[in-house]
Amino acid sequence: MAGRLFVIGTGPGNPEQMTPEAQKAVEASTAFFGYFPYIDRLNLRPDQLKVASDNREELNRAQAALARAAAGVDVCVVSGGDPGVFAMAAAVCEAIDAGPVEWKSVDLVIVPGVTAMLAVAARIGAPLGHDFCALSLSDNLKPWSIIERRLRLVSEAGLVIALYNPISKARPWQLGRAFEVLRETLPAETPVIFGRAAGRPDERMLVMPLADAEAEQADMATCVVIGSPETRIIQRPGLPDLVYTPRFLPEASR
């Protein structure tokens, strides 16, 4: 009899942002597969097995977890944030799609979580209050030309944009180029939010106009949110500014 395979997210990093449903999945699982820092966020019992691997081994990790679950073990695949947003849920589905027939019999439970853009938005106000999209700047799995085309199209469409995987040592130039592309369409005063480690002790929130935004403000722990032309900043004496995108557009009243 096949076991269960839970796919969970630990949230942005604050233990309080991990959902009760994800906590129950951890309690019910025997073996855990995930990237080292994400598994280390869990308080596992001595009888629970930890199988940690590097960040670029998603498909191998999914295959190993499915093989263990198909053998009758209750397994948990661990992501940061929400497992369905640029994370392990898609890798597990890909592995099932291409894998042996017995993997299709595994009881798969994907548990929704709190992704980085939601945590950043909550800390700064409501920048995702109207239409928005999420894009990954990593060109490891898709060509940069596609990323650049999508940036142009969504900025022309007036969507708020949340950028994941903005910069790393292996990809140092993509975020700067993304800002150049967005400046071709968006007003110079469009708010840009650099939300680093939202909810964690080392949290840092920076807001600046697109004209002044620089890639050096971000790292891989940062989610960058670029407002739409309608996004506004509310200045509050003695308190941090609020950034929000109104729920309506001027044309809606016509």
| SS3 category, 18 | coil
pLDDT of the residue at 55: 82
| SS3 category, 28 | helix
| Separation of alpha carbons 243 and 254, rounded Å | 26
What residue spans define the domains of the chain? 4-110, 116-253
pLDDT along the chain (254 residues), means of 10: 93 93 98 95 96 91 98 97 97 98 96 97 97 96 97 98 94 97 98 95 96 96 97 96 93 56
Location of structure tokens 């979580």: 113
| SS3 category, 223 | strand
pLDDT of the residue at 1: 75
pLDDT of the residue at 194: 98
| Separation of alpha carbons 218 and 151, rounded Å | 18
CATH of domain 4-110: 3.40.1010.10
pLDDT of the residue at 13: 86
Q: Judging by DSSP bridges, how do beta strands 49-53 and 31-35 pair with one another?
A: parallel
What class is the 116-253 domain?
Answer: alpha beta
Strands (E), the chain: 4-9, 31-35, 49-53, 75-79, 107-110, 125-126, 132-136, 160-164, 191-196, 204-209, 222-226, 232-236, 239-244
Sign of the C-alpha dihedral, residues 175, 177, 181, 183? positive
Facing residues of 206 across strands? 194
Strands (E), 26-85: 31-35, 49-53, 75-79
Location of structure tokens 């071709």: 184
Location of structure tokens 């209750």: 74
| SS3 category, 207 | strand
Angle CA(33)–CA(39)–CA(45) in degrees, nearest 5?
90
Looking at residue 157, its amino acid is A
Location of structure tokens 């900025």: 155
Q: Helix, strand, coil: what percent of the chain each, to 5?
A: 35, 25, 40
